[in-house]
Structure 1
Amino acid sequence: MPGNGITARNPEAIKAHNLQFQWPSGQLVLQGCSLTVKPGEFCMLLGNNGSGKSTLLKILGGLLRPQAGEWSIEEPVGFVFQNPDHQLVMPTVGADVAFGLVNEHLSLAEIRNRVDDALEAINLLELKRRPIYALSGGQKQRVAIAGAIATRCHVLLLDEPTALLDPDSQIDLVKRVRDLVKERGLTALWVTHRLVELDYCDRAFLLEAGRVLDEGEPERLKQRLQS
């Protein structure tokens, strides 16, 4: 479990306090990074390249461990990578969504129900038997999200999930995640550098030089970065 003994329930679904992360090369990525996300919030994490956004997300998702600081996250956690080809491992849509359920000791009927429910939630149920290679980039990202939903995750961590998508697919994906947060009571933290995506979140954080420089209303942060 990511973290160091902090129990993550209400009032915070995600909490990071004074995180510090340094690569073996000596490059300091996070220095005193702190933030809190409440249950049911859809928050976005902004910042220039090298500001520490992806590193922070990977720490919260248990993929990296910092040298200092405290953190907690409400489990289960679903992680969506920038490139879905690094995440989708099975030949068909339905098989890939079911892949994360293998170790949950579920009946075949329960697995089928979870897969169908997750695919219906992201409007891809009709593509259940479609080969992964035949999907568009946006559809692949939806399948990755469906895999997380099938595990009944409480928190979604999304690392620039629209980076490789065309503009229409970008907006379509962010709207779907926003709706999932509201419909299913999820908490989501979404890394982005696209200001237009701020129109769909509840709150935003601005990272600079490895720490949260500002946070609050998305429109205010948008105006700050546009000025």
Structure 2
Amino acid sequence: MESSSPAIRVQDLCFSWPSGVQVLKSCSLDVPKGEFWMLLGTNGSGKSTLLRLLAGLLKSHSGEIHTQGRVGFVFQNPDHQLVMPTVGADVAFGLVEDQLPWIEVKQRVEDALAAVKLLELQRRPIYALSGGQKQRIAIAGALARHCEILLLDEPTALLDPDSQNDLVIEVQRLVKTRGITALWVTHRLDELDYSDGAFLLENGVVVGQGNPEPLKQRLMKKGLTSSPL
């Protein structure tokens, strides 16, 4: 890992649901700036909960979270976050709170759509998009807001195999060309081939991290290849 301050730092994070079920137990991890890391673990290990805590959608009971830069969140199902009728309007919607001049909003929308290679769809109705295109629009919304950190919660789970591959390659390209940091929750081990590193969660604790290949082999030995983790 880099010696400079990480883009994401989690220290001794704990979280329990109101029912009393503890999800995260003194969870700690660092994600280096400008890198593409993935988060692995079986169902119930705390992956999605951790991502929501990082995004501020949930509040931890104890521990610390430090993020350097604005954070963008991409849901598993893009229909849960695309709210406007057209592509351009949806990307612009996230800029409302920034109260920017119209010309800057227009430029940011166009730049973000160009970054995800969908500029020609600016006037396309959201309902007419494929699942993969919708996920790219969700990412474009974060880019338009100048987010420096992307959190992606199993973004390929509802996509066909070709779209799954296209999306992970696209995020890898954005990380490398724009200097953003990405943390991607996945249950597909082949996606690890595109990452700079990975974390393995078990029962709310990070039990492995770093080079994704040993973690991939570890999970394959358990019989967890392409099945949900």
TM-score interval, normalised by the smaller of the two chains: over 0.9
Q: Corresponding residue for 1:24? A: 18
| 1:159 aligned residue (153, 161, 170) | 153
Matched, 1:199 2:221: no
In structure 2, how many angstroms separate the alpha carbons of the residues matched to 1:103 and 1:54? 26
- Work out whether 1:209 is the aligned partner of 2:212: no
Task: Report the alpha carbon displacement of residue 68 of structure 1 after superposing the two structures with TM.
Answer: 1.0
Q: Distance in 2 between matches of 1:104 and 1:27?
A: 38
Question: Displacement of 1:103 after TM fit?
Answer: 1.6
Residue type of the alignment partner of 2:157: A
Question: Is 2:83 the partner of 1:89?
Answer: yes
Q: How many angstroms does 1:75 deviate by? A: 2.3
Alignment-derived partner of residue 4 in structure 1? none
Q: SS of the residue aligned with 2:141?
A: helix
User: How far apart, in 2, do the equivalents of 1:165 and 1:73 lie?
Assistant: 29
Choose which of 121, 124, 134 in structure 1 pairs with 2:118.
Answer: 124
SS at 2:214 equivalent: helix
Of stretches 97-106 and 81-90 in structure 1, the one that deviates more from structure 2 is 97-106
Partner in structure 2 of residue 11 of structure 1: 5
* 2:32 equivalent in structure 1: 38
Deviation at 1:105, TM superposition (A): 1.9
Cα distance between partner residues in 2 of 1:23 and 1:222: 30
Runs of 4+ aligned residues of structure 1 deviating over 6 Å after TM superposition are none
Match of 1:141 in 2: 135
Q: Per-residue displacement from partner, 1:154-182 (whole Å, max 9, x unpaired)? A: 10000111110011100100000000001
Alpha-carbon RMSD: 0.7
Q: Following the alignment from structure 1 to structure 2, what is the Cα–Cα distance between the partners of residues 79 and 46? A: 17
Letter matched to residue 197 of structure 2:
R
- Residue from 39, 42, 51 that aligns with 2:45: 51
Partner of residue 69, structure 2: 75
Letter paired with 1:193: H
**What's the offset of the Cα at 1:71?**
1.1
Q: How many Å separate the matches in 1 of 2:95 and 2:132?
A: 23
- TM superposition shift of 1:104: 1.1
Where 1:164 maps in the other structure, the secondary structure is coil
Q: Deviations over 1:13-67 (max 9, x none)?
A: 1000111100010111001111001110100000011000000001111011111
Distance 2:98 2:64 in 1: 29
Q: Give the match's secondary structure for 2:60.
A: coil
Structure 2 segments unaligned to the other structure (5+ residues): 222-229
The 3-state SS of whatever aligns with 1:32 is: strand
Structure 1: gaps spanning 5 or more residues: 1-9
Query: What is the CA–CA distance in structure 2 between the aligned matches of 1:40 and 1:11, rounded to whole Å?
Result: 11
The TM-score, its normalising length taken from structure 2, stands at 0.94
Between the aligned partners of 2:7 and 2:44, the Cα distance in structure 1 is 25
Deviation, 1:108, is 1.1
Over the matched positions of the two proteins, sequence identity in percent amounts to 68
Letter in 2 for 1:72: H
Whole-Å separation in 2 of the counterparts to 1:224 and 1:25: 32
